[in-house]
Amino acid sequence: MRCPHCESENTRVIDTTHDAKGGIRRRRVCEDCNQRFSTYERPVLSTPLIIKRDNTREEFDKEKLIEGIRLACTKRPVPAEEIDRLAGEIEAELQHMTKLEIPSKIIGDMVIDGLRELDDVAYIRFASVYLPLGNLNALRDEIDRLLEKKGE
Give 146 or 27, the one with higher predicted confidence.
Answer: 27
Same domain as 53, residue 27: no
Same domain as 113, residue 64: yes
Q: What is the mean pLDDT of residues 99-126?
A: 90
User: Of 7, 96, 80, whose CA–CA distance to 110 is shortest?
Assistant: 96
Same domain as 29, residue 55: no
Same domain as 34, residue 60: no
pLDDT of residue 58: 93
d(CA 64, CA 62): 5
d(CA 96, CA 99): 9
Give 132 or 126, the one with higher predicted confidence.
Answer: 126
Q: What share of the chain has pLDDT > 70, as a percent?
A: 94
> Model's pTM, two decimal places?
0.63
